[in-house]
Homo-oligomer: A and B are copies of this chain.
């Protein structure tokens, strides 16, 4: 439909796929649509991605990576004392997700479907985030602010992640518009941070 002289790269295919998903939704966006948008045959798309599922996974990964990259910045050492960093990290995650869900609900619904299809990609993403949390917590222990559960900062990081599920798991997106949600987030974070804080007694 829009033939270009440009080489057919994986990147261009991903862009077109994202656009097709945005336009047609997850149920109706086909590989043929993507090929048509690029002005090539669908066979050519299969040269770059083995299956439709692999193509969608790649799109999903890109989307998730955008968030993890922002968070990686906050998890980096040097930024601020671990307790503040942790709070900031959680607040940023919540805000990012909430905006993704609220700003373009249709697109978010589309990605929610993709997320359900691509559990391996999601697992990797979660592992990445838990790693970041674990870094912050470990630093907090080193600096005397935090204590872990059972001396295991990864297990503790996972617990922090799980305890805040309601504020980042897309399954709860429909609750993110409710009025009291900010306060509820703050309460959970306060509780978790208290649980992490080293006790003097």
Contacts and interface: CB of A to CB of B under 8 A. Distances in A.
B171 A192 contact: no
Interface stretch (A19-27, A72-80, A91-99, A157-165): A157-165
A194 interface: yes
Contact of A201 (B162, B171, B195, B199): B199
Contacts of A187: 149-150, 152, 155-156, 158-159
Contact of A188 (B152, B163, B184): B163
A135 B192 CA distance: 20
Contact of A159 (B156, B191, B199, B201): B191
Interface string A149-179: 1101001101110111110000100000000
A195 B190 CA distance: 8
B201 A156 contact: no
A190 B149 CA distance: 7
6 contacts: A158-B184, A159-B184, A162-B166, A163-B163, A163-B192, A194-B196
Interface of A: 149-150, 152, 155-156, 158-160, 162-166, 171, 183-184, 187-188, 190-196, 199-201
